[in-house]
Amino acid sequence: MFTTHDKIEGPGICYVQAKIRSIRTNNPLERFNREINAALTAPHPSLPAFVSIIQVLSQRYVD
């Protein structure tokens, strides 16, 4: 006999729940680190490129 819990569980649901947990964080430093990693498209950006990315990201927290 199926229960409500059995009907909700499935590979798709578990995958989505795991994805949400891996993306979401409560720690502001981890969130900022994730934003920097997403913004850096090159493995080793030049210093001016890195500084401009940091300036853009930091404006979100300063304003």
pLDDT tens digits for 3-55? 455 455 556 666 665 666 556 656 878 888 888 999 998 889 999 999 999 99
pTM of the model: 0.50
Contact status, residue 56 vs residue 39, Cβ threshold 8 Å: yes
